[in-house]
Structure 1
Amino acid sequence: MTLKYAYFPGCVAQGACRELYMATHALTQALGIELVELKKAACCGSGTFKENSLLLEDTVNARNIALAESLNLPLLTHCSTCQGVIGQVDERLKAAHQSNPAYLEKINGLLQQEGCSPYKGSSEVKHLLWALVGDFGLESLQQKVTRKLEGLKCASFYGCYLLRSQKHLPYDDPYNPQSMENVFRAVGATPVDYRGRTQCCGWPLSSYATTQSFKMAGGHIQEAIAAGADCMVTPCPLCHLNLDSRQPEVEQVIGERLGLPVLHLPQLVGLAVGIAPQELGLDRHIVSTRPVLDKLGL
């Protein structure tokens, strides 16, 4: 049976990290996964809406989930921040069915005023990582590999939203996750362990505490390099911005040359299933991915 999802691409993958949008489409097509893009979906708010209004965050994302529910499909995102925010809203509103029905009624009343479908709590919010591990399956993924990534040492960077925003984390342990490492093994790569893989990248601080943000990002990259990593791999485009796009600025702050490639998760998996590097947008990064491709003989 074909896996099918209501696809929530989020904002960053349609702008600053366009290569993630490209890689997700290329990978899902190669795996036979069908995506129905939610063209009318709104930005999840990246956790900022609730600073002024929890009702705003819940209403905006109830609408996003309702769009998926209207298709009778789970909502799929490839952004850890979107997963954390929308997943947390979904948990909160599903609990409200029993604990606070008046609040849920208020949200659905606001949606009705805008001509939107009501939130029912009938769908799931699922990151691409969870879909690969839990739905597609690691054994099936291994069977799709046409280019084993042997000898490539990968340092995962989960970030914080994916692991700790929701009360119930599927398929993994929020404090000692292994899902990305298991994906690495499935495609023939070698996982590299280091302390910072489950910590914040520093992106949320970058607009008002830039130096501290870049020191955080630089520390993580330094640890990964010291552990022998050929690249970092992240399931979050916001983490990617701080670790890749701003790596030259990070280098200036910490006073050290880094030069560590940072891949999006679907790019790494895409290479293993035989997708061309250019189709995955690997030529769009700030830090060159050429050392990774050279190591793989591409």
Structure 2
Amino acid sequence: MKLDFAYYPGCAAKQVQKEADVAARAVAGSLGITLHEMPRATCCGAVSLRETRPAFSLAVAARILSEAEEGGRDLVTICNTCLQTLTHANHRFKTEPELLDKINHVLVQAGVRPYQASIQVYHLLWVITDQIEPEKVRAKVVKPLKGLRVAPFYGCHNLRPEEIFDAKAGEKADHLDRLIVLLGGEPVAYDGHDKCCGFHVMLSDKVEMRAMVARNCLNAKEAGAEVMITPCTLCDMSMGSFQGPAEKVVGKRIELPEMNFAQLIAVAMGLEGKAGLNRLHVSPKAALSRRGIG
């Protein structure tokens, strides 16, 4: 199978969560996954645009998808919200030909190549766990996690709505759990692994958002987690950089190291220089050292 994709990291990975992008590129390169830049791609518009200006949101998604399709490649991302937004639009384009015709009319007027709805949208996590033989991934692990207890935080936008995702994704997804085991760690089961991180209510209700962060992190830590990983740069932002403010809301210390899934893979593959651990708000270095990994 040719692992050749148009790469859409999303806005957060280009700005505040750059460590996720750097780690993802390093891990992909090590595993033989080719990620092609999308120089004309813009923000996907996320949920806010889809809710306020749905037709505009579809046109933005179609333009992004068309750029990937023009190169003859499926699209891969490392952001759950980008994943859901583009997958939702792609699902509609593939099942509603009249809608696709209308959106393509808009694209043509703007001088953009019409989208033929011939490609798929994937998460890089899915590519690594579903399209590469486990033995190949395991062979790249030079620093196995030695039973490190890792809390998988899936978030919600790569799980729901289930009907737009491939059968291996959706509500019953286990990609993070399988990845943790593959790297030599122990997945931690806890209430909150498939809940919302709170990012999308950050502006409308900051107290509730921070309470959500605290609940998810504390549930994981109380279940024995030493670190937490997510497959989403927006979840990284919430569960990592907002832990401090969340502690103030609930009046409890959390101090749970949180990192992007690609960063943990980079550590296990001996690519520490690309892992960006120094950019994290709660360092995982002590937890890794206790296991003899750091």
Q: TM-score, normalised by structure 2?
A: 0.96
Q: CA deviation at 1:42?
A: 1.2
Instruction: Tell me which amino acid in the other structure corresponds to 1:60.
Output: V
CA deviation map 1:162-183 (0-9, x unaligned): 0013514336353333111011
Give the equivalent residue in structure 1 for 2:89.
89
CA distance in 2 between counterparts of 1:8 and 1:115 reads 21
CA distance in 1 between counterparts of 2:102 and 2:226 reads 50
Residue pair 2:10, 2:43 contacting (<8 A) in 1 also:
yes
Moved >2 Å (runs of 4+): 137-140, 168-177
- Out of 280, 284, 287, the position equivalent to 1:289 is 284
Matched, 1:114 2:110: yes
Over 3 Å counting, the alpha-carbon distance change for 1:115 and 1:105 in structure 2 is same
Over 3 Å counting, the alpha-carbon distance change for 1:189 and 1:25 in structure 2 is same
Give the equivalent residue in structure 2 for 1:50.
50
CA distance in 2 between counterparts of 1:275 and 1:150 reads 17
Residue pair 1:244, 1:287 contacting (<8 A) in 2 also:
yes
Give the equivalent residue in structure 2 for 1:126.
122
Instruction: Tell me which amino acid in the other structure corresponds to 1:74.
Output: D
**Aligned with 1:5: secondary structure?**
strand
CA distance in 2 between counterparts of 1:60 and 1:166 reads 23
Give the equivalent residue in structure 2 for 1:180.
176
**Aligned with 2:67: secondary structure?**
helix
CA distance in 2 between counterparts of 1:284 and 1:212 reads 26
Gaps of 5+ in 1: none
Instruction: Tell me which amino acid in the other structure corresponds to 2:117.
Output: G
Matched, 1:77 2:77: yes
CA deviation map 1:57-112 (0-9, x unaligned): 11000111111100110000011111011011100111112xxx2x3222111111
Give matches, 1:219-258, under 5 Å.
219-258=215-254
Q: CA deviation at 1:45?
A: 1.1
- Out of 191, 194, 201, the position equivalent to 1:195 is 191
Instruction: Tell me which amino acid in the other structure corresponds to 1:31.
Output: L
Over 3 Å counting, the alpha-carbon distance change for 1:174 and 1:68 in structure 2 is same
CA distance in 1 between counterparts of 2:193 and 2:162 reads 18
Instruction: Tell me which amino acid in the other structure corresponds to 1:223.
Output: N
Give the equivalent residue in structure 1 for 2:269.
273
Gaps of 5+ in 2: none
CA deviation map 1:20-52 (0-9, x unaligned): 111111111111111101121011111111222
**Identical-pair percentage:** 34
Matched, 1:211 2:207: yes
CA deviation map 1:260-282 (0-9, x unaligned): 00010111111112212x32111
Instruction: Tell me which amino acid in the other structure corresponds to 1:152.
Output: L
Residue pair 1:245, 1:286 contacting (<8 A) in 2 also:
yes
Over 3 Å counting, the alpha-carbon distance change for 1:71 and 1:166 in structure 2 is farther
CA distance in 2 between counterparts of 1:55 and 1:166 reads 22
Residue pair 2:266, 2:274 contacting (<8 A) in 1 also:
no
Give the equivalent residue in structure 2 for 1:12.
12
Give the equivalent residue in structure 1 for 2:23.
23
* RMSD of equivalent CA atoms: 1.4
**Aligned with 1:7: secondary structure?**
strand
Instruction: Tell me which amino acid in the other structure corresponds to 2:82.
Output: C
Residue pair 1:153, 1:229 contacting (<8 A) in 2 also:
yes
Residue pair 1:133, 1:171 contacting (<8 A) in 2 also:
no
Q: Which moved more, 1:144-153 or 1:63-72?
A: 144-153
CA distance in 1 between counterparts of 2:185 and 2:167 reads 20
Give matches, 1:130-141, under 5 Å.
130-141=126-137
Aligned residues: 293
Q: TM-score, normalised by structure 1?
A: 0.95
Residue pair 2:158, 2:169 contacting (<8 A) in 1 also:
no
